[in-house]
Amino acid sequence: MVSAYINPASGEVIGLWCTEQLQDRGRSHRQWTIETSAGSTRVVGLGHTHESAPVVVVVPGTNMNTAASLPFLAELATRYRVIALDVPGQPGLSAPRRPRRDRLAWYGRWLDEVLEQTVPDTAVLLGHSLGGAIAMACPPERVAGRVLIAPAGLVRLKVPPRLLAATLAWLAAPSPDRTHRLLRLMTGPEHAVAPHLVEWMTLVARYCRTTLAPAPLAPALLDRCRSAPCVVATGAQDIFLPPDRLEPAVRDLLGTGLHVFPGCGHLALDDNPAGVVELVDDLTGRL
């Protein structure tokens, strides 16, 4: 097991930033910690408390967490009961240790344990990037459906030279300018780079060990996705998973079509939060 942080002090810096974001008085939420085989997991609840409202469990992508996703979560919470998770081994408020091998099977077990402790019946899983792969790897018993936004785990990510160069510069000498340059490549051309993401990702480069995208899921894990309805989408300008790369895998492996967000990049939850919520509406309307 390896830590998400360079050293313990780095974890404290990241934890402080996340805590401050979650303590913003303008946001109404509940947060608590549960214990799993992957270590402690921070859970944040937002939105409707009425029992008839569907539960949507949000699993963020690499280097992301609840604190960095609050604008999107606030929009989703206007329509649903939302449970947002910090993924163990990723920067945030959950346990820092991550596995060296069999990552997706390990994360699938973790998510199943989280659902057992937080969801009374079943839930819709909403996963972005790495979170999409984790949602697909989760055992199906408590999963009513899945909304996968630019999901890893189906095909290997595309890494063009300009993205690789921007990533290496961001890691070698972190600064807001270099972070903005990287995020500009991940954001749709019609959208501004979110200032809070520039601040957050600069901290990630300074204090954290980032991870590579996971390899495609093993067939045994991929079979779990076919047990419940699934909606998959990506941005038209997604630099990692453009539609022409992702669509054949979605069709052949999941047996469904691919929704494309016009003008969006890889960070569709920030580029087009309303569009993502509409996909959740589409799925829950069919359950």
% of residues, the chain, pLDDT over 90: 84
Structural domain includes residue 275:
yes
Can you tell me the distance from the alpha carbon of 156 to that of 213, in angstroms, rounded to the nearest whole number? Answer: 8
Structural domain includes residue 262:
yes
Structural domain includes residue 68:
yes
pLDDT, average across residues 25-48? 88
pLDDT value for 47: 87
Structural domain includes residue 139:
yes
Bridge-partner residues for 234, per DSSP?
Answer: 260
Mean pLDDT of the chain: 93
> In the chain, which ranges are E strands?
2-3, 30-36, 39-47, 55-59, 81-85, 97-98, 123-128, 143-149, 230-235, 258-261
Structural domain includes residue 251:
yes
Q: How many folded domains does the chain comprise? A: 1
CATH assignment of the domain containing 129: 3.40.50.1820
Structural domain includes residue 241:
yes
pLDDT value for 92: 97
pLDDT, average across residues 185-210? 96
Confidence of residue 207 (pLDDT cuts 50, 70, 90): very high
Contacts of 104 (CB under 8 A, 6+ apart): 133, 134, 136, 137, 153, 214, 217, 218, 221
**pLDDT above 60: residue 200:** yes
Structural domain includes residue 169:
no
**pLDDT above 90: residue 28:** no
Can you tell me the distance from the alpha carbon of 170 to that of 68, in angstroms, rounded to the nearest whole number? Answer: 18
pLDDT, average across residues 141-148? 96
The residue segments making up the domain with residue 92 are 2-156+210-286
pLDDT value for 51: 66
Can you tell me the distance from the alpha carbon of 260 to that of 233, in angstroms, rounded to the nearest whole number? Answer: 6
CB atoms within 10 A of CB 162: 11
With 0.75 as the threshold, say if the pTM is over it: yes
Confidence of residue 225 (pLDDT cuts 50, 70, 90): confident
Structural domain includes residue 197:
no
